[in-house]
Amino acid sequence: MRKNGSERADFATKVGLVLATAGSAVGLGNIWRFPVTTGNNGGAAFMLIYVACVLVLGLPLMAAEFTVGRRAHTNTAQAYKKLSRHWLWSRVGQLGVFTGWFIMCYYVVVSGWALDYLVDASLNRFGILGGDVPDYKGHFESFVTNPYLPIVYTCVLVLISHFVIVRGVKQGIERVSKVLMPLLFVILLVLAVSSLFTPGAKAGLTFLFRPDFTKITFQTVLDAMGQAFYSLSLAMGCVCTYASYFSKDTRLVGTAFKVGVIDSFVAVMAGIIIFPAVFSTNILPNEGASLVFIALPNVFQQAFGGMPLLGYVVSVLFYFLLVIATLTSVISLHEVPTAYLTENFRMSRAKATTVVTAVCLSVGAFCSLSMGPLASFKIAGRNLFDLFDFVSGQIMLPLGGFLIALFVGWVLDRRILHDELTNGGTVSCRSSRFVSVLLRFFVPFAILLIFLSGMGMFHIV
Ligand code: PHE
């Protein structure tokens, strides 16, 4: 398969490729969405459903993307073209690259906020070490509506990602993932342990883990599927692009499994960090930006009442964790169009990275401004930031996932799938058969349901 003798790099180590792919997966989905969704939807009961979704929906789709990426050994847009001449299937990869680019443009804005909050926490602007306690809501709102500041932080974050990407797969992505991901795990552990020392530890853990099956409805199952899908970075070209750097002896199903385990572990740990602290105060948990940027600084200020220094350290570490989690996701998104431009337009890596950085920063700046000076500019009732979030998350992502599952399950020669999943018959084929059955008969229909429910096509109570 490795024809053309190009000097395309592969990841040098198995640990490196697992950490890089897990770095893509671990992000806002784990930290600001999973914990609150779990707490509000039946705790441990929801977790069981989520894990089932990861196993029967997320991992088969990840294995499918791995198959395409490694087999074609080229960027995502080119990969589908290489494996099928049909006009529809050859465009699936282009959709992936486009979705990745699209999502990156607004994801970097939130990552920039995380960076600003890291600086604010370090400078004691949340008043945890004493001094003035700000109005947290006002603080957040005046920051995001500021015309310059969020853009400056977004630029810094994108430039960090730029310098990683420019250095290539081994020296850039792999090296940085091997440092940042272990660091992320250590911070996660330190924060989880500290949170257990807060007065609300018991109540928080009960809220998070208490199984309540009465909260489970069909809609919760759909939400769990959508969450698994987003959290594993599927259908955005990232997983397929990274797999094109996998070596021939990398076990695809095993790697998908490891990434799924890491991603779910981080999500659960985020819950263990957030809820004990939240339950030590009277602040109501809410998901998304309001949890992370409004409720949590307040929580950190109050929850460690007698130990302000601990509260301060926890707040700094928490935003550091958020920066690492989003940065590694941004890096994976950055790589998708960069690989595409490098290979399809014969650009040097430096030039391709610069083009991606420039486009992302320009569009990202508009997304950022749409929270402030450009707030009145709306398309279909949404500002630019929400529009990008909606179109990429609710439309392009399920559409891409659906087409990928159909392509790999029904169109791609079955021998290719088998060959890739078993490394040419050298590893067990039981899981490979299971994956292929799920890809054919389950995954496309499940995704169709998520899509229709996201579009509000039906409403289930
Ligand atoms: N998986 C990331 C998260 O949980 C989001 C993401 C999707 C990142 C696709 C990169 C690519 O936040």
- Tens digit of each residue's pLDDT (9 = 90 or more) over 302-335: 888 788 999 999 999 999 999 999 999 999 999 9
* Within-domain flag for 260: yes
- Nearest-angstrom CA–CA distance, 413 and 458: 35
State the pLDDT at residue 2: 42
Phi-psi region of 211 (alpha: psi -120 to 50; beta: other; left: phi over 0): beta
What residues form DSSP beta bridges with 3?
none
Query: What separation in Å is there between the alpha carbon of 444 and the centre of ligand 1?
Result: 20
Residue 76 identity: T
Q: Specify if 2 maps to a domain.
A: no
Number of other residues whose CB lies within 10 A of the CB of residue 131: 10
How far is it, in rounded angstroms, from Cα 186 to Cα 285?
Answer: 25
Residue whose Cα lies nearest atom 8 of ligand 1: it is: 329
Position 461 in a domain:
no
Ramachandran class of 428: left when φ > 0, alpha when ψ lies in -120 to 50, beta otherwise? beta
The two three-digit tokens of residue 241, written as one number: 């692009």
Distance 339 CA to ligand 1 centre (A): 18
Mutate-to-test residue for ligand 1 from 230, 266, 388, highest number of ligand atoms within 8 A of CB: 230
Task: Report pLDDT for 459.
Answer: 58
Tokens 């939400």 correspond to 223
Q: Which of 108, 233, 234, 328 maximizes ligand 1 atoms within 8 Å of its Cβ, making it the mutation to test the pocket?
A: 233
- Can you tell me which atom of ligand 1 is nearest the CA of 332? 10
Question: In this structure, which residue's CA is closest to atom 7 in ligand 1?
Answer: 233
State the distance from the centre of ligand 1 to the C-alpha of 233, rounded, in angstroms: 4
For residue 259, what are the domain limits? 16-454
Distance 27 CA to ligand 1 centre (A): 6
d(CA 262, ligand 1 centre) in Å:
14
Write a three-state SS string for 334-395. Answer: HHHHHHHHHHHCCCCHHHHHHHHHHHHHHHHHHHHHCCCCCCCCCECCECHHHHHHHHHHHH
Rounded CA separation 91/114 (Å): 35
CA distances from 60 to 55, 193, 388 (A): 7, 34, 27
Give the span between the Cα atoms of 185 and 255, in whole angstroms: 18
Nearest of 59, 83, 54 to residue 252 by alpha carbon: 59
Distance from residue 25's CA to the centre of ligand 1 (Å): 5
CA distance 70 to 417: 11
Please list the ranges in the chain whose pLDDT falls under 70.
1-7, 458-461
Distance 245 CA to ligand 1 centre (A): 19
7 belongs to a structural domain? no
Structural domain count, the chain:
1
For position 78, what pLDDT does the model report? 95
What's the 329 CA to ligand 1 centre distance in angstroms? Answer: 6
Is residue 392 a part of any domain in this protein? yes
Closest C-alpha residue for ligand 1 atom 11? 233
Nearest CA to ligand 1 atom 3: 27
> Could you tell me the pTM of the whole model?
0.93
By the 8 A CB rule, do 237 and 100 touch? yes
Instruction: Give the number of other Cβ atoms within 10 Å of residue 138's Cβ.
Output: 10
- Residue with CA nearest ligand 1 atom 6: 233
Paired tokens of 155: 């630029």
Closest C-alpha to 105, from 354, 366, 291: 366
45 falls within a domain: yes
Asked whether the beta carbons of 447 and 226 are under 8 A apart, the reply is no
What are 50-62's pLDDT values in tens digits?
A: 999 999 999 999 9
Site to substitute for ligand 1 among 21, 24, 322, 333, most atoms within 8 A of C-beta:
24
Residue 226 CB: number of other CB atoms within 10 A?
26
Is 10 part of a structural domain of the chain? no
Query: Which pLDDT score, from 0 to 100, does residue 350 have?
Result: 97
Q: What CATH number does the domain containing 192 carry?
A: 1.20.1740.10
Residue-level pLDDT at 282 = 82
Report the residue among 33, 54, 106, 107 best suited for mutation to probe ligand 1: largest number of ligand atoms under 8 A from its CB.
107
Does 415 fall in a domain? yes
3-state SS of the chain? Answer: CCCCCCCCCCCCCHHHHHHHHHHHHCCHHHHHHHHHHHHHCCCHHHHHHHHHHHHHHHHHHHHHHHHHHHHHCCCHHHHHHHHCCCHHHHCHHHHHHHHHHHHHHHHHHHHHHHHHHHHHHHCCCCCCCCCCCCCHHHHHHHHHHCCCHHHHHHHHHHHHHHHHHHCCHHHHHHHHHHHHHHHHHHHHHHHHHHHHCCCCHHHHHHHHHCCCHHHCCHHHHHHHHHHHHHHCCCCCCHHHHHHCCCCCCCCHHHHHHHHHHHHHHHHHHHHHHHHHHHHCCCCCCCCCHHHHHHHHHHHHHHHCCCCHHHHHHHHHHHHHHHHHHHHHHHHHHHHHHHHHHHHHCCCCHHHHHHHHHHHHHHHHHHHHHCCCCCCCCCECCECHHHHHHHHHHHHHHHHHHHHHHHHHHHHCCHHHHHHHHCCCCCCCCHHHHHHHHHHHHCHHHHHHHHHHHHCCCCCCC
Number of alpha carbons in the 13 Å side-chain half-sphere of residue 357: 20
